Structures are given as C-alpha cells and as structure tokens.
Amino acid sequence: MTDVPDSQALRDDAVRIYDAFTHEHHDRRTLLRQMTALAGSAAAAEALILGIAASPAAAAIVDPHDARLKIDRREGMEAGARSAAYLASPRNARKRLGNVLVIHENRGLTPHIEDVARRLALVGFHAIAPDLLAPQGGTPADEDRARTLIGSLDYDLALAQARAMIAHAAADKTGTGRVGAVGFCWGGAFVDRLAIAAGPALAAGVAYYGPAPAPSEAVKVQAPLMLHYAGKDARVNATGEPWVAALRAAGKSVEAFTYPGVDHAFNNDSSSERYNAAAAKEAWARTTAFLHRHLDRA
C-alpha cells in the first residue's frame, strides 16, 4: 500500500475489522465478507488479512538454538491441572537473575512468544513462558481454534497456575527470588489481573495494550506496573485510561506510556502491518530497564 491518506484510511479500517474478528466475534466468514467489501475483491481481502495477522513463519529475532541460551520445556501439574511452560535462561550467568513470566496473546504459546522469552533471557533474566491453554490440551497450531479455547479458559485456574509458577520461580536458588511478568494483548490484560490476585508475590508487572480491569480493583494492586498503550487502539484505551487514573489515585506505583500513531500489537514483529519498529524499540528499552530495576536485587 502506498502511504497516502486513502490508503492509510483503508489500512486503519482493515485493522479495525481484523481486531473485531480477533477480540470479539471470531467469525472468519464475517471477517472475509467485511474485508472483501473494503478491499474490493477476495484476493485483495486475503492480502490485507495476511499483512495484519501474525505470521507463524516469521523469522525469529533470537535463534532457538542460540548457544548463549539454555532452553527447556517443562510439563507438570499446577493448581490441580496440567501445566506447561517454555523456559529460556542465559547459559553462563555469573549472578543470580530475576525471573519473568511471559504471558501470551489470545493465540496461546506461539513461536513469537517463545522468541520474546529468548530476548528476555539474552538481556539477563530467567524467562518462563507458560502455556495457559495446557489444561485444555495445549496451544493448537490453528490460531482460530486457540482463540476459541482462550474464550472458554478457566480464568481462575489460569491465575492459580501463574501464581504457582511465581512461587516456584521465587524459590529457585539460581534467581534473585523476585518474579515479574510481562504480557501482550490478552496477556497484558492477564498481567493486570495477576497483579490484583498475586499480592506481594509479584514484584513487577508490564502490560502491553491489555484491556484493563475495573478501576475499583486498583486498590488491590501491590506490584509496581508499567503499562504500554497504542495511540490508535481506542478499544483498549477506553479501559486503560481509567485504570491508570485509578492506580494513581490509589497511590500505586505505575508508569504508563501511550505511543502516538501506532496500532494495537505494535510490538509484534511477526505482523507486518501492525509492527512499529520505533515504538517497539522504545517500549522494550523501558520494559527491560523497569524489570531490571525491580527484579535484579535479592
């Protein structure tokens, strides 16, 4: 698409339609019908969708076989149900490291989220990326199926499993004993709710463009929070702004940033239409500095 107003308006409408599909109705026939009406043909509609959707085949930023990292997968039982997680740590850490739960989007534990875990490991954290769909059989390859499973997920169980993983990580002698969490989209919303549920066990939370809890819940938060929002993400910002205001009114430690002119999921480099390199770089620098500040000390 060329960078002219009409093309920009078409792109913005396409993102809005796709977001309604991924976060509201999950009806692919409605998505295709609306995109075709917007783009003028089925072929053009498919091209729009491919540009907006995250690509499972997108190249990883950090090679899964990077020799600097120690990678593992863990399965077990947490809170009375099957659990699973992808683990990434520096191979030759010379000090104890902070632990970070990496909470996935509504497509489950994808290669992109595993890549984010590796990125965190390379900057000096033990990264733990839970598959919160594990009690339902684990993340499926079909993203539409994953979204359906997310919609039927036992949220209290997911929070209980995350809290159990925090407790295990805090007890690990290779770490500082401090555990944070970072989440994206559905995972960003989950981090806010984990901050409500986990109390002092969560040492820091970072939420990327996650729909926020009710402002009345802000008084329960004990962890310092960093919240990233996309300037063009009206759906999420309508909840985020009152959430930030409530946290501040309650005297909580919160840093909130809105990145002008960018879309929901601007950090996801596997989505060519959504990804914004400048905003993603700035948010990532803020995120890693924030997590080091709160997790590196014992």
The rounded distance, in Å, linking the Cα atoms of 171 and 239 is 35
Question: How far is Cα 142 from Cα 145, in angstroms, rounded to an integer?
Answer: 5
- Mean pLDDT for the stretch of residues 238-250: 98
Q: Are 126 and 87 in contact (CB under 8 A)?
A: yes
Quick count: other Cβ atoms within 10 Å of Cβ 298? 10
Letter for the amino acid at 50? L
Closest CA to 247 of 218, 224, 226: 218
Contact 135, 157 (CB under 8 A): yes
Query: Tens of pLDDT along 106-148?
Result: 999 999 999 999 999 999 999 999 999 999 999 999 999 999 9
- If one counts every other C-beta atom within 10 angstroms of the C-beta of residue 53, the result is 18
Q: Could you count the other beta carbons within 10 Å of the beta carbon of residue 41?
A: 10
Q: Compare 22 and 197 and report the one with higher pLDDT.
A: 197
On whether the CB atoms of residues 180 and 294 are closer than 8 A, the answer is: yes
Residue 135, φ and ψ in degrees, nearest 5: -65, -20
Q: Do 122 and 202 meet the contact criterion of CB atoms below 8 Å apart?
A: no
CA–CA separation, 173 and 175 (whole Å) = 5
pTM (2 d.p.):
0.88
Bridge-partner residues for 264, per DSSP? Answer: none
CB 235 within 8 A of CB 204: no
How far is residue 160's CA from residue 226's CA, in Å, rounded to a whole number? 22
Place of tokens 């409605």: 30
Average pLDDT over residues 219-238: 97
pLDDT above 90 (res 30):
no
